[in-house]
Structure formats: structure tokens, C-alpha cells
Chains A and B, each alone.
Chain A
Amino acid sequence: MSATLTAPPIQELAPNIVIRVKDGALNIGKYALLVVGIALLGACFIASMGGDPAHKTRIAFSYLTAYMGTLGICLCALFFVMVQHITRAGWSVGVRRFAENLAGALPLMALLFIPIYLSIDQLYEHWTHPHEGDEVLLGKHGWLNKGAFSVRAVLYFTIWLSLTFIFRRWSLKQDDSGDPALSLRMSRVAAPGILLFALSITFASFDWIMSLDPHWFSTIFGVCYFSGSYMAFFAFTILLTKWITGKGYMRESINTEHYHDLGKLLFTFMVFWTYTNFSQYMLISYANLPEETSFFAKRLDGGWGAVGTMLIFGHFLFPFAFLMSRHIKRNGYALGFGAVFLLVLHWIDMQFLIMPNAMAAHGADAGGADGAAAVSGQFGAQLSTWLHGMQWTDAACYLGMLCLVGSVTLINMCRHNLIPTRDPRLSEALNFQNL
């Protein structure tokens, strides 16, 4: 219905609105983030140059952890855009343009995938160099081989980059033409787009995380990865838009009311992460089959038990209590703290998924007597084992990649209108109020 209406001019809706970033206004943020990002990733790269192969592999794992954490944020920005179109959401028109710009960092993520591809022999050693007579991996060889892995990686990025390209291009085109038919067309493309997104993010998480431990399998794994990533997307969005609105931009399109809703969604997907991860844990522990429990047996060893406990408290119980109240979600500092906190926890979650594989011996299954011994260990002792196993490159890669993505988002923002000026639902977004 609304697609038959042309939007009124933006000056009528909000006379004092600023729709373009002044030349050079956000330069400090843009370039500082770029420099910090390149410096941190560069330092990790230099650190991986020398040293023994084990050290190199360890840094590759730091990189993979950071990469999957950041990739999820960019991918879910694309998902957010499609969800707004398919639901024809009015409140989020201003946030949607930001998400389009964040999804615009996906070409960068495609570039940053190259080091992972080059480290395929180290990271995915279990299936790239399977043991002689490993029947399970022999059976999975049709799927888990370098050729198929490469083809699928190209396919995933083709899907993600084309969807991003389509949604950004049409949205920007509407800024010029004001054609409401574009909104209708985008909502139609969003439906198959979401389907493609769901399949591609699921299989990408299978390929890039789950295949680190190729004997193990979980059908809900893709959903677990998605739920944490979508939460991290909201945390990242809240943080970066807070900074930009603090600079005086987008204040009409992302105000307290919109932050309140972003906070609700942050809360929702934090809980959804708990829901999916508990579902996975529950089924595995109930069935108690050795080929499935190996995942958790490995994660009770080497200090990871403490990390699991930390995730229950930090990724669920504390933020659940903290973000529950509307007063918290409507308070800039409190919501900002929640967002930073959950971005850190998202990184720890990625570590929990990926890192135990870096420390396990080649081909060996953790668990058994070792696993049982570790369960009885004290929380403090486990925590210190985990902290000792960490490296500066773990934090540097994650921080560096977040900075790069933030910088590219800001660069994208400065090149175009900050809000979809002629979106037919813009007035709804500007006048949005929570009941």
C-alpha cells in the first residue's frame, strides 16, 4: 500500500536534518580506525613470519577466531537489511542505511579471507591431511576436500556480495529517483535473499569452524553461529552509531527510541544465543554418544571449562539482568557498556568454538580420562590455564578487524546520504515512538 505513495521531500519531514557528512568531518575516526586496524593486523602478520610452524599455526587460529567474529557482524548487517525490507519496517529506515554501509564492508571481508585460505593446511589439518585408514574422513571426503572447499567459499562470497550490491544500489537509487516501486522490489528480493543467506551462513560455519573438528557434527551449529553474530551486529551498530550521533549526525533518524529498539534486539539475540547453544548442549548430553560428546569433552579440558562457565554468566545471566530494564536501554552510557561487554563476550564465544582445536593434538580425541580429570578442576585453576594459553595476537586480530570494518563503514557513510532521504517510510522512522 505504502509503495504506491511517493515520499514527501525530506525538508518537509525534518527541516534541520543533515543528510551528508561535511567534508573531512569524520576523518579522524575514519583514518584512526584504519591505521589502528592495519597496524594491529600487520603486527600479527609480522609475528607470524618468523618462528616455528606451531607458532604460525597458533597465529592462524587467532586470525580465524577474529575473522569469524567480525564476518558474522558484517553478514548479519546484510541480514538486518533484508529483514527490514521483508517486514516493510518503518522504524528502522535510518538504521537500515547504516546496516547497508556496514554490509558494504563484506568485500573487505572477502579480501581478508585470503590468509585463511592460504593457511588451509595448518588450520584444517585434520581433513586436509587425514590419517591413513580414517574411515570417517574417507566417507566425508566428497565434501571435505580442498577443491570443494574453494568452490563453496567462492559461492558464499558471490551470494553475499551480490545481495549487498543489490540492496545498497537500489536503496541509493531511491535517494535520487524517490521511486516507491524500488521498496516493493527490495522486499520481493529479500525473501529469496534471506533463504540464500540462511543456507550460506550455515554452510560457511560448517566449513570454516565445524570442519576444524571434522569427526564431530551438529545440525544446529549454523544457528548457534548466526545467533551470536546477530547479537554482535547489534552491539557493534549501537557502538558505532552512538559515536556518530555524538558527532551530531543522524540524530533524527536514530534517537533514544531507536536505541531502545536496538537494545531490545540486542537482548533478544543474546537470549537466542543461549537458547540455541543450550539446545545443542542438551541433546548431546542427553544422548551421551561418544562421537557427539567429544565436542564438550574437549571444552572441559585445557581451561575451557572455565570459559564455558564464564559464557553462561557473561553471555547470558549478567546481560539478561542488566539489559532487562527499559531505563537501561534508553540510557546511552548503560546501553553502550552493554554493547562493549557483549562484543567482548562474542569474541570469547568464538574462542570457545575455535580455539580448543588449536591446542588439541593432531588426530587425537580429547576427553576420556583427561576430560574427567579436568571437570573436577577448580574454576580459578582452569581460568589461569586458559589465560596462559592466550596470546596477544588473539586480541590484536579481533580488535584490528573490528577497526577495519568500522573504518570501511564510515568511509561508505561519508560517500552517500546518511539516511534514505526518499524512502516512503522515512517519516515513520523519524516520528517513531515506543509505546
Chain B
Amino acid sequence: MTTYWGVVAEFDSAAAIYKAAEQTTQKGYSRVDSHTPFPVHGIDKALGHGPSHLGWLVVCCGATGIFLAQLMMWWMNAVDYPMWVAGKEPYWWPSTIPVTFELMVLLSAFGAVFGMFGINKLPRLHHPIFSHSTIERATDDRFFLSIEASDAKFDRTETKKFLESIGGKHVELVED
């Protein structure tokens, strides 16, 4: 028996997919996503997506950067090889600010980029949704809505019929 990843429907415009997204979440589906040629404002709310967790990851990475920078400079300047320069104490906190700032920014940026990759399970060579017959137009002029098979409410025939009823074209089941 074939397993399915989900069902994908095509829409003509940003307004149409926005409306479809609202209807889909109202119907009770939760594992819903949109694939559009450009960002559609407010679509995340219509899809019922909560705020991203990436911010917390970035804060933790930034805090790690601050901690590591301070530890490094304190250990090097005050413990390992204490040196008095220009009448300043070996560990003089104002002089550590630039490096601390840089390391905080660096690790935050790493956290943001690689965290985003991780959360999206990137990089990957293939995704089941690519087997939809017209999906390549998601980068051009069509808007796609997907409901995943892992959704509790998912039903092969019912979900397909539902997407057709709200105006979806090329509604197709996509194999995993």
C-alpha cells in the first residue's frame, strides 16, 4: 500500500489562497502550509501558525557568545598572562566590550541561519511535494496549499474533496 505525504491544491491568486487558508484552519486542519511565489502578508495567521521559536534559539546563542567572549578575555588577560597596558588593569571590562559584542553577533547569526536550516530540516535533496504535477509554478504565478497526511483530521478522499470544494485546482494526493 502506498503511503501519502499529503494533499496539495493549486490556487490562482494571493487573495484566493488567503481565503482558502482561513477556511482550511476553520475546518479544523492544523498541519497546513502554503507555497507561494512571494510572501503573502498575514498568511501565517490564516494558516494558524504560531510565532517562530527561532528567536529563543538566537537569544541562547547570543548569550553563549557573551559568556564565551568574557571567559576567553578574562582567562587570557587576567589569569594566563596578566599584563598591564596603558595603566589599565589586566582585565578591564570596558576594553572587552567590542570583542564581546562581535562574538555575540557572530554566534547569534550562526544560530539564526543554522537554526533556520535545522528547524526546516534543510538542506535536503528532495521533498515529496515536488511530485505534484504543477508545483513548479509556485515559483512563478500560482499559489499552493498543502495539508499533510500526519494531520489528525486527514482523510484521503474527504480532504481532497474539501480542497476542491473551496476552489482548489489540480488537487492531488502526493506520495511520500
**A435 and B41 in contact, given A286-B86, A288-B86, A288-B87 (Cβ under 8 angstroms):** yes
Give A287's nearest chain B residue, CB to CB: B86
- Cβ-defined contact, B94 with A282, below 8 A: yes
**A433 and B94 in contact, given A286-B86, A288-B86, A288-B87 (Cβ under 8 angstroms):** no
- Cβ-defined contact, A285 with B94, below 8 A: yes
Give B43's nearest chain A residue, CB to CB: A435
Give B39's nearest chain A residue, CB to CB: A435
> Within 8 Å CB of B95, what residues of A?
282, 286
**Assembly CA distance A278 to B98 (angstroms):** 10
* B42 interfacial contact with A, CB 8 Å: yes
- Cβ-defined contact, B39 with A282, below 8 A: no
- Cβ-defined contact, B42 with A433, below 8 A: yes
The interface bits of chain B over 97-124 (1 if a CB of A lies within 8 angstroms of the residue's CB, else 0) are 1100000000000000000000000000
Tally of chain A residues near chain B (CB < 8 A): 9
- Cβ-defined contact, B97 with A278, below 8 A: yes
- Cβ-defined contact, A282 with B42, below 8 A: no
> Within 8 Å CB of A278, what residues of B?
94, 97
Q: Which of A284-328 contact B (CB under 8 A)?
A: 285-286, 288
The interface bits of chain A over 269-284 (1 if a CB of B lies within 8 angstroms of the residue's CB, else 0) are 0000000001001100
**A282 and B97 in contact, given A433-B42, A435-B39 (Cβ under 8 angstroms):** yes
Distance to closest chain B CB from A17 (angstroms): 20
Give A431's nearest chain B residue, CB to CB: B41
Q: Which of B1-58 contact A (CB under 8 A)?
A: 39, 41-42, 44
Q: Which of B43-88 contact A (CB under 8 A)?
A: 44, 86-88
Binding site for A on B (CB under 8 A): 39, 41-42, 44, 86-88, 94-95, 97-98
Can you list 14 pairs linking A and B with CB atoms under 8 Å apart?
A278-B94, A278-B97, A282-B94, A282-B98, A285-B88, A285-B94, A286-B86, A286-B95, A431-B41, A433-B41, A433-B42, A435-B39, A435-B41, A435-B44
Binding site for B on A (CB under 8 A): 278, 281-282, 285-286, 288, 431, 433, 435
Q: A282-B95, A431-B41, A435-B41 are in contact. List 16 more A-B contacts (CB 8 A).
A: A278-B94, A278-B97, A281-B94, A282-B94, A282-B97, A282-B98, A285-B88, A285-B94, A286-B86, A286-B95, A288-B86, A288-B87, A433-B41, A433-B42, A435-B39, A435-B44
For the complex of A and B, the 8 pairs showing the least CB-CB separation, nearest first, are A433-B41, A288-B86, A433-B42, A278-B97, A285-B94, A282-B94, A288-B87, A286-B86
